[in-house]
Amino acid sequence: MCIIQRFQRPTAMSHFSATFSTIHCGSFGQRGKMSPTQKRCFWMFLIFLSLMMAGCVQSRDRIAQQPAGTHYTEGVEPGQVNKADAIKAEVFPEITSLLVDAQGDGAKKIAPLSYARAVQKLTSLDAFISVNPDEMEEIEIRAMDALSEAKRLSVIMAQCNRVKMMKPEEIVLLMEKHMLTVGDALGSQRLRSLHVTEQLETIVRDIKVLQQERSTLSGQVEKQQADCNELKVRFQEEIDTLNVQLAALKGQSVEDRMAKEKMAKDRLAMERRLEAEKVFNQQFLAVRSYFRVDEAEVLKQENQLVIRLKAMRFPVGKSLILEENFELLGKVQKAIRTFENPRVIVEGHTDATGNEMSNMALSLQRAESVKQYLVANQTLVGETISAVGYGSQHPLASNNTAAGRAINRRIDVLIIPETKSM
C-alpha cells in the first residue's frame, strides 16, 4: 500500500498538510476505478501539488537572490503563523473545494475558459504570496478575487448545465426574455421586432440617455440647493437685524412697543415666506423628476410652476385627446397632487399657420379638452381650474421654420400654490 502522509513545508503551504494527510493509492479498487470521494481527493491533491511546486520555485529564486553567506528564513519564528499564511489557511481550502467540485462536474469540458481562469487566479495568488508575503493589502485583494472567480465558476457551470438541457429556440427565447425585461424597465419601445444586436444597442442607448438626464438633474438639484442656502443666509441676516432692533426697543414707550410688535410680525412673515419658498423649491424638484426631458419642461415663474408639455400631440386642426397622451397627462395629475389645494390654468398655444381667429378658437378648445380630462379624472374640482387660449400670440420660437412651429404648438399647465394667510 502506497501512502503519502503529511507534506510538511517550512513555508505558508504547511496548512494544506491536514487537508491531504493520507491518500491510499492501493484503495482504488479493481480495474483502476475510483469512487467519487477518491476522485475528489485526487484532484485536490493535484491542485495542492501544483501550488506547492510553484511556491518552491519562487522560494528557490528568493534564496538565490540573497547575498552570499546569508541564512534565508521566511521571516517567521518557529511555531508562528504570519498573516499571509493565515489568509491561505482561510481561503485556499474553500477555493480548492470549489475547483474540485467543478472538475468533478466536468468543468474542463463544459466551461474550460472559466475553469482555467479560476485555476490561474489561485496559482497566481500563491506565487504572489511566496514572493511578497508582507504585501497584506494586495494579498487580501487577490485572495478575494480568486475566491470570487471560483464561485463565479460554480455559477457559470450551473448556467451551462441549464442551457445544455435546452433546445436552441428555448435558449434564444430566454435571452430575448432577459433583453425585454431590461428594455421594459428602461421604457424602450418595440424591442421584440428587432434583431438581438439592435435590441442591445437600443438598451445601451436608453441607459446613456438616462445617465445624461440623471447627470443634468443632479446639476440642477445642486444649483437649486445652492440657491436655497443663499436665500436662507440672506433671510437669516435680515432676521438677525430685526432681532437686534427688537432688543433695542425693550422698555421704551408705547410707540416703541407698537414698532416692536410690527417688527415681530415682519419677522414672522419673513420666516413663513422663507419656509414657503423652501417647500416650493422641494415641490418644483419633485415635479421635474416626474417627466423625461422629451416629455415636458418644468419651469418656475415667481410663485407659479409651469409644466410645458412638449410631447402633447393633437390631430391636425382638432382638440381630441389621443390615447398616446394618457400617460403624460397622468404625470400632470401627479404633479398637481404634489401641491395642497392649488389653482390650475391650462393654456393652449398654436403656431402662426392659418388665420388668428381660427388659431384662438383651436387653442382654447385644446386647453378646454385638457381641463375636462383633469376634472373627469378627479384631479381637482372645476372651480379651481380654468382654460385659456392664446392662439399664436406667445411664440417660443420663430414661425418661419417647421421646428419653430412645432415648438410653438403646445399646452402649458400653470400650477399656482395656495397662499396661506399670515
Residue bearing the bigger pLDDT, 386 or 213: 386
Residue type at 53?
Answer: M
3-state helix, strand, coil in the chain (%, to 5): 65, 10, 25
User: Is the pTM above the cut of 0.85?
Assistant: no
User: Strand pairing of 410-416 and 343-349?
Assistant: antiparallel
Q: How far is CA 379 from CA 249, 326, 348, in A?
A: 50, 14, 19
The pLDDT assigned to 187 comes to 77
Q: Find residue 174's DSSP bridge partners.
A: none
In a 3-state reduction of DSSP, which class is residue 341? coil
Sequence ranges of the domains in the chain: 3-65+80-164, 291-422
The pLDDT assigned to 175 comes to 82
Residue range 113-139, pLDDT digits in tens: 999 999 999 999 999 998 998 889 999
The pLDDT assigned to 28 comes to 41
For the chain, the average pLDDT equals 79
The pLDDT assigned to 25 comes to 39
Q: Rounded mean pLDDT of 144-162? A: 91
Roughly what angle, to the nearest 10 degrees, separates helices 83-104 and 112-131?
Answer: 160
The pLDDT assigned to 36 comes to 62
The pLDDT assigned to 20 comes to 41
Q: How far is CA 165 from CA 152, 155, 158, 160, 247, in A?
A: 20, 16, 11, 9, 85
Residue range 372-400, pLDDT digits in tens: 999 998 888 778 999 999 999 999 999 99
Sign of CA dihedral 28, 32, 35, 38: positive
Q: How far is CA 119 from CA 45, 97, 141, 149, 393, in A?
A: 14, 12, 16, 9, 74
The pLDDT assigned to 367 comes to 95
Residue 281 clears pLDDT 50, i.e. is over it: yes
The pLDDT assigned to 196 comes to 77
Residue range 230-245, pLDDT digits in tens: 888 888 888 888 887 7
The pLDDT assigned to 170 comes to 86
Q: Rounded mean pLDDT of 251-257? A: 67
In a 3-state reduction of DSSP, which class is residue 78? coil
Residue range 57-109, pLDDT digits in tens: 444 455 455 444 444 444 444 444 567 788 888 888 999 999 998 988 889 99
Distant-in-sequence, close-in-space partners of 58: CB < 8 Å, separation ≥ 6 = 127, 130, 131
CA separation for the pair 214, 202 (Å, rounded): 18
User: Strand pairing of 410-416 and 296-301?
Assistant: unpaired
* Superfamily of chain region 291-422: OmpA-like domain (3.30.1330.60)
The band of 164, judged by pLDDT with boundaries at 50, 70 and 90, is: confident
Percent above pLDDT 90 for the chain: 34
Residue range 167-200, pLDDT digits in tens: 888 888 888 888 888 888 877 766 777 777 887 8
The pLDDT assigned to 400 comes to 92
The pLDDT assigned to 11 comes to 39
Residue range 4-48, pLDDT digits in tens: 222 333 333 444 444 444 333 334 444 445 566 655 555 555 565
The pLDDT assigned to 359 comes to 93
Residue 309 clears pLDDT 60, i.e. is over it: yes
| C-alpha cell of residue 34 | 475510483
